[in-house]
Structure 1
Amino acid sequence: MTRLPLTITDDMVHALAVKEGVCVRPVLRRVTDVTTGDTTVVAIRCGSTREAKCPPCATLARRLRMTQCVEGWHRDDEPDAPAPVTTEGDDDVEQVDVPAAGDGAGERRVRSTRRRMDAPDLPRVPVEARTIGRTFTAPSGVTYRPSMFVTLTLPSYGKVIPGRGVPVDPARYDYRRAALDALHFSKLVDRWVQNLRRGAGYQVQHFAAVEPQRRLAPHLHTALRGAIPRTTIRAVTRGTYHQLWWPPFSDDDVVYDRRHPVWEPETALYVDPDTGLPLPSWAHALDELDADRDARPAHVMRFGTQVDIKGIDGASPDADRAVRYLTKYLTKAVTDTYTDPEGEHVDVAYEAHIDRLHAQLRYLPCSPDCANWLRYGVQPQNPGPGLVAGHCPSKAHDREHLGLGGRRVLVSRKWSGKTLTEHRADRATVVRQVLEAAGIAALEAGRLSAEVLDHDGKPRFVWEDLPVGGRDWATVVAGSVMERRRWREQYEEAKRASDDEGPPVDNRSATTTAATHAA
C-alpha cells in the first residue's frame, strides 16, 4: 500500500470518505491465491446501520430498507415466501410471522385462551388465503388498490413537558412500566398483527419501523398492504394486549441485591452463596406458576389511545413521503434520536431522564435466558458460568438502546417475496447489467470466493484477517475512495452509452423480466 503524505490527516480522509459514500470502518482481509501465490488486500464494508459508527454504511442500509418497503407495499400479485432469515444488520430482524411468545420456554405450555375481562372484544371474520388488498373503482372508471400507513403508541407513564419529553415529576413517572413495555414491545406488535389479520379477513403484510418518541417510549410506524376499515384497526388496537406469564419479579421479589448467586461447575447450576443450595430452575418456577390458580401475569402490555391511520395510494407523492418517514430514524440509536451525539448541546434534565430509565432496564429480565433472573432467585432458562444480575449481555439493557436491543425493523415474510440479502443482490446485478451492456467489464461476483476449489479439492483462495491501524487506515480508506470514483465514472459512462431509459437502478429488480422493463 502506498503511504499518504503526512499533510493529509485522518480527519480529512474521514470527511472525504463520508462525502463519497465509502465505509470509514473497513474490515481488511488478505486473500492468497494458493495456485499462483498472488496476494490481494480486500477492504470489506463494516455494514453498520448506525450513523454514529459509519455514516456511509448506515445510509446504504437505510436506502436498502426503502427499496424493500417500496417493492412490497402496493403489490398487485402474490409474492412467494422467502427462506426464513433471523438477522440482518446490526439491530434489525426481519421475517416475523410467528405468534407472540409467552414464557419463551423450550417446552410449550398451554394456558387458557380466555380473554381478559377488562379487554374489549376483537373483530373476527374468516381469513382468506391472500396477502394483497382489494381494488376500488372510481366513478371515472379508474381502479385503485390503496394501502394503509398506521402509527401506534404506548400509553402514558406520567405527564411530560411538551417538546422536551422530560417528566414533570420524575418521582411519579412510572419508569418500571416504561422499561418493561420497551423490552417487550415487539411481542405486543406481533400480537397486534395476528389480531389484525383475523379482523381484516386476509393475511395482512406489514413493513414496520420501531422508533422512540421524545419521551423515549417506543412507537410503531407501519405500512400495511391493502385497505382495512379504520374502525377495524382501532378496534384491534384497543383489544390487543400481551401478558408475560413469568415468575414474579417485582421489587418485593428481589432475593439477591448486594449478594450474588455462585456458579457451581459440578452441577452446572447457580447456588445460594450462604447455604450452597441450588436456586429453583426456570422450569420449576413455571411449574409453580402453573399450579397457582390465583396466579397473575407478571406484566400486561397494551397500546395507547393515540392511533394515526392514513390511506395511501401507491402512485401518489404521499407514498414516497411515507417511505422516507418510515425509515427516517433507522440510522440513529435510541438515545441519539433527540440528543446531540457530539455533546455540544446537553440537556441535563433529559440526560437524567435517560439515566433513570436505564437504571430500571439494567435489572429487569429481557428473556427467560436473562442473567437478571438471578436477582430474583431463579435460574435462567439456560444457565452458564459468568452470569451476573445487572450485566446481561443483551443489547436491550444498554443505555444506547433503552430496551430496543434487536427489532427496529419488522417485516412480514411475504412482504416483497425477497430477503434483504436478495434485495442487495438485485442492486448489484442491475449495475452489472448496465456495465456489461455498455461493453465495460464488470468485476466477477464470485471472484476470490472461498468456495472456489483448486485442482486438489481444497479452497483456492485463503482469507486471513489483516489488522488496520495507524496510517494504514487512512491509506486503505483513501484507496477505497479512488476505487469508488473509478466505478462511478464507469457506471455513468455506461448509462450514457445505453439507450435504456428505464427507472433508476435503485428501483429496478434484477428478477424483473426484460419484457416488463420494455413495457
Structure 2
Amino acid sequence: MRASSLNRSRVPHLAEATVRAGAVQAGVCVRPIVRQLVDTQTGDVRLVPIPCQSTLASQCPPCADKARRLRMQQCREGWHLEHEPEPPHRTSPLWWLAHPEVFGAVALVATVAAALRANTERRKRSTRRRDDVPELPRLKVEDRTLGRTFTGRDGKTWRPSMFVTFTMGSYGPVHSDGTPLDPARYDYRRAALDALHLSKLWDRLTQNLRRAVGWEVQYFAAIEPQKRLAPHIHAAIRGAIPREILRQVIAATYASVWWPRHDRIVYRGDHIPVWDSDTGGYVDPHTHQPLATWDQALDDLDADETAEPAHVVRFGRQSDMQGLVGGTDKADRRVGYLTKYLTKAIVDPLDDQENGAVSPAREAHIDRLHAQVRWLPCSPRCWNWLAYGIQPKDAADGAAPGACPSKAHDREHLGCGGRRVLVSRKWTGKTLSGHKADRLHAVRAVLEAAGIDAPDVDRCSATTLDETGRPRYIWQAIDIEDLPTYTEVIAQTVTERQRWRTQYEAAKERASPNPHSDSATDDAA
C-alpha cells in the first residue's frame, strides 16, 4: 500500500465544493478511507487517505475513471493477440490431485471430499433441447484461443476479430425515450427475470459458441443499459466467426431456470415467516407450521414429471456484428465504446438523453421495474424465497422477504447485481491485479530511465518487519473526531498529487528528448 505524506498540519479553509472539484480534476479520490500510519522505527505518525475504489462516477468520479481505464487496457491487450496467452493457474480438484506436494495430506483429503460432496448434491436435469429452438452444430473444441488468419493480395497476414452486441427481446412497445407506450401491458416481470438471470444466458451462449466453431472463443464483454432499461451486452470477441453461425447460435441459445415456482407472493408486509429456534427454520407466523426447505421444494419439482422451468431466458432477434482488425482507429474507438458506460449505474441517464435529466415517465418506469426486482429471488439463498413460502438455501435467522442484501435488488442496479464486466479466463492470461501491476511498472520504467529511484510500492506494508522481527508499520482506524476536516484531507492530497505529476512530467522530459505518452503511464502515475 502506498502512503502519502499527509500529516496533521492545517491548511486554509476552503469550500467543500471547490476542493471536490479540484480533486476530480487532479484525479484524487473524493471520499477516501483515512487511516493512521505509525512507523514504530522512527516514531512518525501520518494520516493516509486510501482511495475508495468505487466504479460508479456518481460516488467517486476519479476512482471510477481509473477503474474504467484499467478495463480499457485489459480489453485492448487481449483482443488481437497473435500468440496464445499463458494458461491460467489451475485450481480445480483434479489439479490438486495431480500436485499433492502443494498441500498436506489433510488439506488434500478435505479438498477431494468437498468436490465429491458437491458432485453428489448436484441435481441431474434432462439435457434434451427444447422443441421450440433449432439444433446447433457441434464440433470438437480445439485447445486454442486464436482465430484464423487471412493473407491479402499484398502478402500481408491479417487476424481479424469481432465486436458484437447482444440485446434482449421486447417486453412491449416503447417511446423514443425508452418508456412504455402502455405500462399496464408492458411485461415488467419478464424484464426483471431476464435481468436477474442474464449471466446464466451469457455462460450458455459462450459454451454453445465454442462448440459450434470448434475452438475456445475468448471474450471481453460489458453489460450496459438500453434506454428502456433492459440490459444488453457489448462483447469484444477474439477471432472472426461467420455471421451466419453467430446468428444461429444466438437463436438456439437459452437458459432454463429450474427453480420452484415463484409467481405468487404468500407473505408480505406484517405477515411474514418467523424464525423458530427449536426447529432451526422459518415457520408460518400464525399456524407455526414450518415452511418447505429449499431441498424439499426442489424434491417436489423433481417429482413432478410435467414441471416446466420457472423461467426461460433468451436473447432477442436484434444483434450487431462488426469485423475489426487490431491496430486500427476503428478498433480503438470500439474499446472506448465498450467501456463507455461502466462508470454509470443502470438507472443513470445515458449521454444522449436530453440534459441528462430523468423525466417523470422514466422515474415511474424505473419504479415499476424495481418493484418486480425487489421481490423476485436472485439466487437459491435469496431472502425473497420467504415471500413465496419457501425457506432459502442454508436459511438463518434474520432474513426477511423484500430485504435481501444482494445489490441485484437495488434500484440503481435493477437486477444486474453481478459484475458489469465479463472476461474469459484466457483473454490475456492475467488477472486485473496483473494489469494494474503492468501500469505501475510502466511508470517505474519512466522514472528509472530518468535516473530517479522509484519508491517501493509495498514500503509501508503491514508485513514489513523491523530489525527485531516485529511489524514496523501499524495501520490504525481512527475516530472521526480525530480527523481533520474533509476539505483539509482532500486539499493536501490534491497538492501532493500535483507534485507527483510535476515530478513525473519532468522525468519524462529527462528520459526522452521527444516524449509521447498516451495511456498506461500517465494514468498510473
1:84–1:413 Cα contact (<8 Å) kept: no
Q: 1:501 to 1:117 in 2, by over 3 A?
A: farther
Equivalent residues of 1:440, 1:490 under 8 A apart:
no
Equivalent AA in structure 1 for residue 229 of structure 2: L
Give the equivalent residue in structure 1 for 2:124.
Answer: 110
Structure 1 466/428 Cα, relative in aligned 2: closer, same or farther at 3 Å?
farther
1:154 equivalent to 2:165? Answer no
Alignment of 1:481 onto 2:466: no
Return the match for 2:478 from 457, 466, 484. Answer: 466
Moved over 6 A (4+): 339-344, 500-503
Determine which of 294, 302, 323 is the counterpart of 1:282. 294
Aligned to 2:143: 129
Q: Deviations over 1:95-154 (max 9, x none)?
A: xxxxxxxxx999211111100001111122221110011100011211100000000000
> Which residues of 2 match residues 25-174 of structure 1 at below 5 A?
25-83=31-89, 107-162=121-176, 164-174=177-187
SS at match of 1:72: helix
CA distance in 1, matches of 2:183, 2:298: 34
Deviation by residue 1:477-501 (Cα, 9 ceiling, x = unmatched): 1111111111111111111111387
2:277 aligned with 1:265, yes or no? yes
CA deviation map 1:149-179 (0-9, x unaligned): 00000000000012x1010000000000000
**CA–CA separation in structure 2 for the residues paired with 1:296 and 1:344:** 43
Matched residue, 2:3: none
Matching of residue 231 in structure 1 with residue 266 in structure 2: no
- The alignment partner of 1:242 has SS state of strand
Matched-pair contact (CA < 8 Å) for 2:174–2:180: yes
Q: Which amino acid aligns with 1:454?
A: D
Q: Is the Cα contact below 8 Å between 1:270 and 1:379 reproduced in 2?
A: yes
Query: 2:78 & 2:491 partners in 1: Cα distance?
Result: 37
State the one-letter code of the partner of 1:286: L
Q: Could you tell me how far 1:443 is from its partner in structure 2? A: 2.0
Q: Could you list the runs of 5+ residues in structure 2 that have no partner in the other structure?
A: 1-7, 92-117
Q: Pick closer, same or farther for the CA change 1:177–1:426 going to 2, 3 Å.
A: same
CA positional deviation for 1:341? 12
C-alpha distance in 2 between matches for 1:227 and 1:47: 35
CA distance 1:176–1:339, change in 2 (3 Å):
farther
Answer yes or no: is the 8 Å Cα contact 1:35–1:454 preserved in 2: yes
Matched with 1:492 is 505
Q: CA deviation at 1:35?
A: 2.9
**Mapped partners of 1:72, 1:284: distance in 2:** 45
CA contact (8 A) 1:431 1:505 kept: no
TM-score computed with the length of structure 2 as normaliser: 0.89
Per the alignment, residue 407 of structure 1 pairs with: 419
Note if contact 1:372-1:390 (Cα within 8 Å) is conserved in structure 2: yes
Q: CA offset at residue 378 of structure 1?
A: 0.6
Distance 1:432 1:33 in 2: 25
Match of 1:366 in 2: 378
CA distance 1:50–1:265, shift in 2 (3 Å): same
- Comparing 143-152 with 439-448, which one deviates more in the overlay? 439-448
What 5-or-longer segments of structure 1 have no aligned partner?
86-103, 510-519
- Structure 1 distance, partners of 2:294, 2:312, is 20
2:18 alignment counterpart: 12
- How far does residue 467 in structure 1 lie from its aligned partner after superposition? 4.8
The amino acid across from 2:186 in the alignment is: Y
Q: Quick one: distance in 2 between partners of 1:342 and 1:379?
A: 45
Between stretches 180-189 and 255-264, larger displacement belongs to 255-264
Letter in 2 for 1:494: A
Distance in 1, matches of 2:214 and 2:521, equals 32
Q: What displacement does 1:505 show?
A: 6.5
Deviation at 1:246, TM superposition (A): 0.4
Question: Residue deviations 1:334-358, cap 9 Å, x none?
Answer: 1113399999844001100000000
The range that moved more, 466-475 or 499-508, is: 499-508
Select the residue among 2, 9, 13 that pairs with 1:2. Answer: 9
CA contact (8 A) 1:430 1:505 kept: no
Letter in 2 for 1:306: Q
Given that 1:207 and 1:223 are in contact with CA atoms closer than 8 Å, whether structure 2 keeps it comes out as yes
> Residues 84 and 391 of structure 1: is their aligned pair in 2 closer, same or farther, counting only changes over 3 Å?
farther
2:455 corresponds to 1:449:
no
> What is the TM-score of this pair, normalised by structure 1?
0.90
- The alpha carbon displacement at 1:83 in A equals 4.5
Post-superposition offset of 1:64: 0.4
1:187 aligns with 2:200: yes
Q: Secondary structure at the match of 1:373?
A: helix
Contact 2:349 2:356 in 1 (8 A): no
1:421 aligns with 433
Give percent identity, aligned residues only. Answer: 57
Deviation at 1:241, TM superposition (A): 0.1
Are 1:504 and 2:517 counterparts?
yes
Q: Which amino acid aligns with 2:273?
A: P
Report the AA paired with residue 403 of structure 1: G
User: In the alignment, residue 165 of structure 2 is paired with which amino acid?
Assistant: T
Equivalent residue of 2:209, what SS?
helix
Matched, 1:307 2:319: yes
Secondary structure in structure 2 of the residue aligned to 1:177: helix
- Report the counterpart of residue 197 of structure 1 in structure 2: 210
Instruction: Report the 3-state secondary structure (helix = DSSP H, G, I; strand = E; otherwise coil) of the residue aligned with 2:457.
Output: coil
Per the alignment, do residues 129 and 350 of structure 1 end up closer, same or farther by CA in structure 2, a change over 3 Å counting? Answer: same
The one-character-per-residue Cα deviations of 1:241-283 (angstroms, maximum 9, x if unpaired) are 00000001012xx322341000112332111111222211101
Change (3 A) 1:228 1:343: closer
